[in-house]
């Protein structure tokens, strides 16, 4: 079975749209795990109404507000499917999404490399069906997520369907008083151990909200410095093109200097590039350019 998980916060005005695409799926062999991260709107009322309708299998949980990553950690633990698809509350699925996903899962289970796979991945499109970013010309394509991004230069948000066991093996770190953790921190950790199979089918339609995480990513990273610094630190250590590594180092020192009370017990980049990047960003910080 497939688990579709949604972490939501004050999105009652958008959840109905997602719900409609779920109940219209051509294959209903899935569960929908919704974790409400401390909403103050009518999310709970909506979910309880939909549960009573019994059109699809819904499991609803609520928790104190702690950030999307903490809600996802809970959802992963509560799920029962062998594979997990994360769907944001403001996005949609094509009506044949589950059917396509399940057919691809059957396909990869026949692959002799199945045990080393973390899951499968698809591109995303906007609500008009226009591709976001790009895809690799051949599909299916087998590689790790880091190579897909940096070696083959595939850009744009993607739709990842991970094995549940893999997500439980690599949970999001939860830092006290921080409500954001870059998803790429975990995807990169997974990519160091597992490959993925990439397809070109469009099954996920997204709409970026004015008040969403993407629109305020700088502020979110600034308010969650430990997770942010850990992400850039690990990115700087990966076997990536030197410009990507140096950019990660620059971003590390950027958030290091503008953050407060996080300068102890954190990992720091070392070496010539790290020192060069630190000096450059410190100069910008000193002259109040950042």
pLDDT tens digits for 84-113?
Answer: 999 999 999 999 999 999 999 999 999 899
pLDDT for res 214: 61
Residue 201 tokens read as 């089918």
Angle at 92 between CA 87 and CA 95, to 5 degrees: 110
- What's the domain range around 267? 224-286
Specify the 3-state DSSP secondary structure of 112: coil
Tokens 């990273």 map to which residue? Answer: 221
Closest alpha carbon to 200 in 124, 103, 106: 124
* 246 or 286, higher pLDDT: 246
**217, part of any domain:** no
**201, part of any domain:** yes
E strand residue ranges, the chain: 2-8, 30-37, 57-63, 83-86, 92-93, 117-123, 125-126, 141-143, 158-163, 195-198, 204-206
Domain end among 171, 206, 241:
206
Q: Identify the CATH number of the domain in which residue 64 sits.
A: 3.90.550.10
Residues 21 and 84 in one domain: yes
Alpha-carbon gap, residue 84 to 162, rounded angstroms: 5
Q: Using one digit for the tens of pLDDT, what is the confidence trace for 191-240? A: 999 999 999 999 999 988 766 666 589 999 999 999 999 999 999 999 99
Q: pTM value?
A: 0.94
How many CA atoms lie less than 13 Å away from 284 in the CB half-sphere? 16
Angle at 70 between CA 69 and CA 73, to 5 degrees: 85
Residues 91 and 181 in one domain: yes
pLDDT for res 288: 82
What are the residues facing 35 on neighbouring strands?
A: 7, 61
Domain end among 138, 172, 206:
206
Backbone angles phi, psi at 246, to 5 degrees: -70, -35
Specify the 3-state DSSP secondary structure of 172: coil
Residues 159 and 241 in one domain: no
Say what the alpha-carbon torsion angle 170, 172, 281, 218 is, to the nearest 10 degrees.
140
Q: At what angle do helices 225-237 and 242-258 cross, to 10 degrees?
A: 160
Count of structural domains within the chain: 2
């Amino acid at each position: 079975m497939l688990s579709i998980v949604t972490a939501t916060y004050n999105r009652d005005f958008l959840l109905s749209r997602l719900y409609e695409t779920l109940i219209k799926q051509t294959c209903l062999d899935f569960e929908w795990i919704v974790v409400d991260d401390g909403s103050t709107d009518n999310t709970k009322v909506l979910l309880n109404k939909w549960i009573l309708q019994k059109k699809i299998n819904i499991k609803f949980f609520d928790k104190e507000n702690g950030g999307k990553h903490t809600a996802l950690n809970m959802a992963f633990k509560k799920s029962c499917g062998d594979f997990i698809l994360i769907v944001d509350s403001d996005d949609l699925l094509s009506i044949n999404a589950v059917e396509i996903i399940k057919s691809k899962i059957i396909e990869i289970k026949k692959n002799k490399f199945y045990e080393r796979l973390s899951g499968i991945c698809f591109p995303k499109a906007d609500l008009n069906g226009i591709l976001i970013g790009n895809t690799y010309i051949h599909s299916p394509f087998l590689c790790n997520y880091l190579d897909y991004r940096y070696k083959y230069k595939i850009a744009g948000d993607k739709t990842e369907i991970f094995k549940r066991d893999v997500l439980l093996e690599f949970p999001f770190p939860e830092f006290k008083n921080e409500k954001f953790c870059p998803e790429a921190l975990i995807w990169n950790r997974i990519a160091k151990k597992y490959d993925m199979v990439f397809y070109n089918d469009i099954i996920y339609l997204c709409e970026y909200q004015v008040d969403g995480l993407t629109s305020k990513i700088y502020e979110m990273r600034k308010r969650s410095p430990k997770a942010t610094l850990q992400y850039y630190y690990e990115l700087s250590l990966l076997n990536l093109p030197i410009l990507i590594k140096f950019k990660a180092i620059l971003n590390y020192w950027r958030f290091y200097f503008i953050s407060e009370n996080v300068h102890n017990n954190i990992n720091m980049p070392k070496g010539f590039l790290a020192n060069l990047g630190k000096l450059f960003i410190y100069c910008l910080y000193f002259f109040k350019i950042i």
